[in-house]
Amino acid sequence: MLTKGWDLIYTEPNGDKEDVYQCKVCGKEMKVQRNKKTVTGWAHGMACSHGCSEKVLKDIFTCSDHEEGWHKQAKQLKILSQKTHSKYLSDIYEKEIEEILMTKKETKKGTDLYL
């Protein structure tokens, strides 16, 4: 599952302008789909499905590794690291994230169940 702001970015259509975004999880350059009609969130999707709104034209940037188990685990740990109020927990998360990104392997199986 893609997470807006991490491995999914919507921008206004830029025509010929070559925007480049890096995945906030793994740092890889994101793929782009230009000028796509889409919904930009859950509420927008619900409004469109009930005829209260229409899809909007956006450029959509996604990480090509977003479905990999190691990427899902790293993203979940980055989110936890960002949300915790503890420096010590954040340091622990960051150390594990570094290992995951270096090896491109999950350190614990089944983490994709949570995202």
Higher pLDDT, residue 80 or 42: 80
Write out the two tokens for 45.
């999707």
Give the Cα separation of 36 and 28 in Å (integer).
22
Q: What is the pTM of this model?
A: 0.82
In the chain, the amino acid numbered 9 is: I
Residues 63-106 pLDDT 10s = 999 999 999 999 999 999 999 999 999 999 999 999 999 999 99
Which residue ranges make up each domain of the chain?
8-62, 69-114
Give the C-alpha separation, 40 to 13, whole Å.
14
What's the whole-number mean pLDDT along residues 26-45?
90
Max Cα-Cα span within the chain: 48
- For residue 22, what pLDDT is reported? 94
H helix runs in 34-113, sequence order: 42-49, 69-83, 87-103
Phi, psi for 94 (deg, rounded to 5): -65, -35
